[in-house]
Chain A
Amino acid sequence: MAKHEAGSLDAVFAALADPTRRAMTERLARGDASVSELAGPFDLALPSVTKHLAVLEHAALVEHWKEGRIRYVRLAPAPLDRAEAWIAHHRTFWRERFAGLHEHLRSTEP
């Protein structure tokens, strides 16, 4: 798999040369998905999906994280978009925390 340097343009082209992987990135562009959600429409066995994901991940096109035993996948922001993604993510994160703090302060009002 490591024919091309991780994250290089060559790795990206090689990853996207495959129609299944192209379809997977198109699916992820519409929203994050668990690995089994991703496998669904392609009628593929999980090991095969995992292999495709490894190629996409090597190209730094997708990244995964785990919640409990479930593995989720999302499109990785391109390097140039990373700052914007960081800002958007943290803005949402803090707004949610603020909502929690409002609620907490209300419920503990002396």
Chain B
Amino acid sequence: MSAPGFVRLVEVFDAPRERVFAAWTEPEQLERWWGPGRFKTTRAEVDLRPGGRYELVLEPGSMHLVGEFREVVAPERLVYTWQWIAGVPDTRESLVTVEFHDLGARTEVVLLHDSFAGPGPVDMYDAGWASGLAKLRVHLGEEEAA
């Protein structure tokens, strides 16, 4: 069952866009911030290119997150699938779209996590639609917030 729903969050970070994008995508940086509180990231692998995969393992619990990049536009935009394959009851695939907006010394991150991953990149026509819809949602969300 795919639960229809999405989470959209906007957050401003006190760092230029290149730094925020690097923190979001470099394994050695992910290992430092991705596992907050009682969790620790014990493994981070990132193949940062469209079609490339990533893996993150959180301990305790061996929570294993994997996914594939659908869009990589450094340092502006990332679209990737998201799937827990161990340690978490919900193993359905979802889709994450992150936009990094340049505010000079600061960066606005717009995160859209859609519970439905949509079609894979194999079907280019449908993939275009899925990504278009995600963009539209981000856009509309911004209009609402304004």
Interface residues of A (CB under 8 A from B): 63-68, 79, 82-87, 90-91, 94-106, 108-109
B32 part of interface (Cβ distance < 8 Å): yes
Give 27 CB contacts A-B under 8 Å.
Answer: A63-B89, A64-B89, A65-B87, A67-B61, A79-B1, A83-B3, A83-B4, A86-B3, A86-B90, A87-B6, A94-B7, A96-B36, A96-B37, A97-B33, A97-B36, A98-B9, A98-B11, A98-B109, A100-B33, A100-B36, A101-B33, A102-B14, A103-B36, A104-B23, A105-B14, A105-B15, A105-B23
| Nearest-Cβ distance from residue A106 to partner chain B, whole angstroms | 7
Place the interface of chain B in its size category.
20 to 34
Question: CA–CA, A68 to B58, complex, Å?
Answer: 12
A91 touches B87 (CB 8 A): no
- The chain B residue with its CB closest to the CB of A103 is B33
Question: CA–CA, A103 to B33, complex, Å?
Answer: 8
Cross-chain pair count, CB within 8 angstroms = 76
Contacts of A68 in B (CB 8 A): 60-61
| Nearest-Cβ distance from residue B16 to partner chain A, whole angstroms | 10
Question: CA–CA, A106 to B15, complex, Å?
Answer: 8
Question: CA–CA, A63 to B89, complex, Å?
Answer: 8
Question: CA–CA, A63 to B91, complex, Å?
Answer: 13
Contact of B3 among A63, A66, A82 (CB under 8 A): A82
- The chain B residue with its CB closest to the CB of A65 is B89
Contacts of A103 in B (CB 8 A): 33, 36
| Nearest-Cβ distance from residue A28 to partner chain B, whole angstroms | 14
Contacts of B89 in A (CB 8 A): 63-65
Contacts of B3 in A (CB 8 A): 82-83, 85-86
